Structure 1
Amino acid sequence: MINVIWFGILFIGIAFGVLTGDGELLSKTIVSTTSDTVKLIIELLGMMCLWCGVMKIAERSGLTDKLARLLKPILRRIFKEAGKDDKALGAIVMNLTANMFGLSNAATPFGIRAMEEMDRINGHKDVASNDMVLFLVLNAACIQFVPTTVVSIRAAFNSGNPGSIILPALCTTTFASILGIILCKFLQRYF
Structure 2
Amino acid sequence: MNAIWMVLICLSVLFAVVNGSIGGFTQALFEAGKAAVEVCIYLLGIVSLWLGLTKILEDCGIIYKMSNFFRPVISLLFRNIPKGHPAVTNITLNLLANVLGIGNAATPLGIKAMEDLQTLNPKPDTVTFEMMLFIVINTASVQLIPFTVIGLLASYGSKNPNQVMLPTFIATIISAATAVVILYVFKVLNSRKP
Fold agreement, TM-score > 0.5: yes
Residue 80 of structure 1: SS of its match in structure 2?
A: coil
Amino acid at match of 1:92: I
Q: Which residue of 1 aligns with 2:116?
A: 117
Q: Normalising to structure 2: TM-score of the pair?
A: 0.82
The CA deviation at 1:132 is 0.6
Question: By how many angstroms is 1:68 displaced?
Answer: 2.8
Q: CA RMSD in A?
A: 2.7
Does residue 187 in structure 1 map to residue 181 in structure 2?
A: no
Closer, same or farther: CA 42–106 of 1 in aligned 2, 3 Å: closer
Question: Unaligned regions of 5+ residues in structure 1, if any?
Answer: none
Q: Deviation digits for residues 119-146 of structure 1, max 9, x if unmatched? A: 2211222221111111001001122121
- For structure 2, the 5+ residue unaligned runs are none
Is the 2:67–2:93 Cα contact (8 Å) retained in structure 1? yes
Tell me the SS of whatever aligns to 2:118.
Answer: helix
**8 Å CA contact retained: 2:67, 2:88:** no
Offset at residue 40 of structure 1 (A): 3.8
Alignment check: 8 A CA contact 1:77 1:83 kept: no
Aligned to 1:10: 9
Look up the SS of the partner of 2:158 in the other structure. coil
Alignment of 1:107-186 (within 5 A): 107-186=106-185
TM-aligned CA deviation for residue 87 of structure 1: 1.6
Name the count of aligned residue pairs: 190
- Mapped to 2, the partners of 1:56 and 1:147 lie a distance apart of 20
Quote the Cα distance in structure 2 between the aligned partners of 1:14 and 1:110: 41
- Percent of pairs identical after alignment? 31
After superposition, the Cα gap between the structure-2 partners of 1:170 and 1:93, relative to the gap in structure 1 and judged at 3 Å, is: same
Aligned to 1:32: 31
Quote the residue 1:68 is aligned against. 67
Change (3 A) 1:85 1:176: farther
The two structures have a TM-score, normalised by structure 1, of 0.83
Moved more, 94-103 or 28-37: 28-37
